Amino acid sequence: MGSSESKPSPPKTPTPPPSPTFKQPWREVSWRDNGRDLQYVKDYQPQNEDVKHVRVLLYGPVGAGKSSFINSVSSVLKGRMTVPAEASAITSDQSHTKMYKTHKFQKESRGNFYPLVFNDFMGVEDGTGRGVKVDDVKLAMKGHVMENYKFNPLSSLSAGDAGYNPSPSPDDRVHVLVCVCSGNASEIKDSVLQKMRDIREAASDLDIPQLAIVTKVDEACSETENDLKNVYKSKYVKKKMSELSSRLGIPLNCIFPVKNYSKEIALNEDVDTLILNALRMIIDFGDDFIDKL
């Protein structure tokens, strides 16, 4: 009785790794068509006579890029690199910003400013006695914190203290709250996240509109580092945005990825596109709130 030899199985074709990008962007963006959005910002004026500008308050973990975002907005509006907000280039677990400062954006003619201001303060940090206190953020949203007030991480500002504004005007109030988080950072600690939720809840109680900015998307994903126009194709960037939406309760359509200017010495149209997309939404949200004051 003869024996038959079994034929060896053909080698298996290795399964290619899943693509890091979607075939199509999940959010549509008009790349390098910045003139329309830039003109929109230039033409904007609040219709409420008691309000001269949209006041935007930035908050977020230490090192998220709040000051760098202010500088990036300034650069886009100015048409050249500017640094109105001092940003730290040194990696640190402590906030670089210590004072409550209003950042204005000058138009082409000197002495004339956009009706848009940004306020920045100490980062939200882990642990007691570190970073901005949630009670101070609540006071800032109501307009009670004066310009150049130096935050004390050990005690909150209270009525009668130097730096307390007892009679805030509609112009002193915050009209938009913006959470700034890094797309390249590790997961936010639960204690920091809880403080951020408390800030968000306080803004909700005041009916202040909110959105989020995810910075450093170029550092977070090699696909966006190679080509920033891949930002809405990147599965990783969408995952980070979706996680932030879930953990903070901010709708995904209110979250915007950006790349801040950091190492560049000249403007880039793709960087400008993402910044202007976020800036236009900030103005729209603020204008809606101002109309109700």
Residue 14's pLDDT band, with cuts at 50, 70 and 90, is: confident
pLDDT given at position 55: 98
Is residue 166 in a domain?
yes
Domain extent for 119: 53-173+191-291
193 C-beta neighbours (distance < 10 Å), count: 17
Say which CATH number the domain at 67 has. Answer: 3.40.50.300
Concatenating the DSSP letter of every residue in 118-187 gives EEE-PPB-SSTTSS--HHHHHHHHHT-BPTTPBP-TTS---TTSTTB-SS--TTTS--EEEEEEETTS-P
**Element housing 275 (H / E):** helix 269-291
pLDDT digits (tens, 9 = 90+) for 173-209: 999 999 999 999 888 999 999 999 999 999 999 999 9
pLDDT given at position 85: 73
Assess contact for 120 and 70: CB atoms under 8 A: yes
Share of the chain above pLDDT 90, in %: 74
pLDDT digits (tens, 9 = 90+) for 126-135: 876 678 889 9
Tallying the residues shown for the chain, one arrives at: 293
Is residue 17 in a domain?
no
Is residue 93 in a domain?
yes
Distance from chain centroid for Cα 99:
19
* Mean pLDDT value of segment 159-174: 96
Q: What are phi and psi of 90, to 5 degrees?
A: -100, 130
pLDDT given at position 97: 64
Is residue 203 in a domain?
yes
Residue 96's pLDDT band, with cuts at 50, 70 and 90, is: low
Q: Does the pLDDT at position 88 exceed 90?
A: no
Q: Does the pLDDT at position 31 exceed 50?
A: yes
Is residue 262 in a domain?
yes
Is residue 208 in a domain?
yes
Is residue 185 in a domain?
no
Is residue 18 in a domain?
no
State how far the Cα of 30 lies from the Cα of 11, in Å rounded to an integer.
Answer: 46
pTM over 0.85: yes
Residue type, 265: I
pLDDT given at position 111: 73
As for how many domains the chain has, the answer is: 1
Q: Which of 57-71, 147-161, 189-203, 204-218 has the lowest mean pLDDT?
A: 147-161
Q: Does the pLDDT at position 90 exceed 50?
A: no
Enter the tokens of residue 37. Answer: 């959005």
Share of the chain above pLDDT 70, in %: 93
Q: Beta strands 210-215 and 113-120: pairing type?
A: unpaired
